[in-house]
Amino acid sequence: MMEDPMMHSSAMKWVSALSTRPSLEAAVKDVVNQAQLSLQDTADLGFVFISSAFASEYSRLMPLLKEHLSSTPVLIGCGGGGVIGVADTQEVQEIEGEAAISLTLARLPEVNIQTFHIDTENLPDLDGPPDAWADLIGVAPHDRPHFVLLAAPGSSGLNELLQGLDFAYPEAAKVGGLADVSSFSGSSGLFGGDRYYRDGVVGVALSGNVVLETIVAQGCRPIGQAYRVVEGERNVLLKLEEQGEDPSFCGLTRTPLEVLQGMFQDLSEEDRTTAQRSLFVGIAQSGFKQQLEQGDFLIRNLLGVDPRTGAIAIGDRVRPGQRIQFHLRDAETSATDLELLLKRHQQQTHASPVGALMFACLGRGEGLYDQPNFDSGLFNLYFPHVPLSGFFCNGEIGPVGNTTFLHGYTSVFGICRQPDSSDL
């Protein structure tokens, strides 16, 4: 672990650069030159995202960056299935499936910066005190840090890590994603400090004169009605009860398959077609909110159906009393959902963001929208001139309600700004 408190009096500044040069040396030199020319100042923090097309050369990345950077900012980053950054045309671009490097440099006055690498096989006990998690990270909860987390896809304890961080730092924003797995080596690339890691989690905690706000666009819309889980075992839904507006309402109890079959009959022809390839289950995150809306659910995969018992398996644990609702996902819904969230955030934000990170699922991008740069372009429509960078992930980390989750098919944004009077 390393701690690098930065105390400066100048304003916060954030720049993003992108290179698609096929040579690693040329690409690193290109992004460093672009970023340093734009920053015109000493960088305190850097994020580097590198295409898995360079996977065989991951071990060379950090030495090359140190060689070309005129100062030595704290650096973290990872390999991705695609990278996002601001090209020399000053337009944000999403480069998928090709060699590319994105570099962000940030001047963060009066911000404490702490990087860390965590072995997820050896985490503190979730029943233990929060101090154990603070010792693991190296930042006290009263410092009110925010986190960017980059993880190897095979990190078995990742959900436990997110629970532990929520427990120890309940007010902290936590965003990030899972690195891509290289077809060359079968492992992922994580970069923290000046080291290259193949597993675990690298991260940075930012505290002091900084605010990190989040947008989690799950890109789904609810269909049918909400149901209460009457019976469930591990990740299997066994019995559902109709959910009325009155909390005391007790409706008809049916198997999930019966619910699905009945709902399917009421869908439009277009939605039936979509449901055959993109049907999901949303788990309501509030036990108290009566009128559930789009965005109130944690979206999970529907893994399988047992025709004999009518049970349905989903990609998360379930418990009796939870409310669920089936959801559909398509390009139009994903676009509408993201635009709604961006517009809402723009209207609610008083201070101007200085920079942002985007963690997008590999299942989005051009494959979903049939056009390039869609999510990042929509972000820049609502937040023009805010430098954006990031990567395409194997899973995205971000909050729903007050809890941090690992998502799929999602675009998560971490938006950085200086505090204002509303934050006091």
For residue range 215-260, what is the model confidence (pLDDT) as tens digits?
999 888 889 889 999 999 999 999 999 876 554 556 688 999 999 9
Give the model's pLDDT for residue 250: 60
Helix axes 58-68, 24-39, angle to 10 degrees: 40
Q: Give 211's strand partners.
A: 417
Give the model's pLDDT for residue 71: 86
Residues of the chain with pLDDT under 50: 1-9, 247
Helix axes 374-382, 331-348, angle to 10 degrees: 20
- CB within 8 Å of 397: residues ≥ 6 apart: 149, 151, 162, 174, 175, 176, 177, 178, 359, 404, 405, 406, 407, 412
Give the model's pLDDT for residue 100: 96
Give the model's pLDDT for residue 245: 53
Give the model's pLDDT for residue 392: 96
- Coil, strand or helix at 76: strand
Angle at the Cα of 95 (from 40 to 212), degrees rounded to 5? 55
Torsion, CA 343, CA 348, CA 351, CA 357, rounded to 10: -50
CA distance 133 to 141: 9
Give the model's pLDDT for residue 296: 81
Tens digits of residue pLDDT in 382-424? 999 999 999 999 999 999 888 999 998 899 999 999 987 666 6
Give the model's pLDDT for residue 4: 43
Give the model's pLDDT for residue 390: 97
Question: Count of alpha carbons within 13 Å of 170, Cβ hemisphere only?
Answer: 3
Question: What letters, b where the CB count within 10 A reaches 16 and e where it falls short, cover 119-141?
Answer: ebeebbeeeeeeeebbebbebeb
CA distance 379 to 390: 13
Q: Are 118 and 168 in contact (CB under 8 A)?
A: no
Which helix (H) or strand (E) segment holds residue 421: the answer is none
Tokens of 126: 């979730």
Give the model's pLDDT for residue 156: 81
Q: Give 14's strand partners.
A: 106
Q: Measuring CA to CA, which residue among 25, 391, 21, 361 is closest to residue 190?
A: 391
Q: Are 162 and 155 in contact (CB under 8 A)?
A: no
DSSP state of 251: -
Give the model's pLDDT for residue 5: 41
Question: Count of alpha carbons within 13 Å of 132, Cβ hemisphere only?
Answer: 11
Report strand pairing: 396-400 vs 174-178.
antiparallel
List the helix and strand counts (H, then E) for the chain: 9, 27
Give the model's pLDDT for residue 280: 93
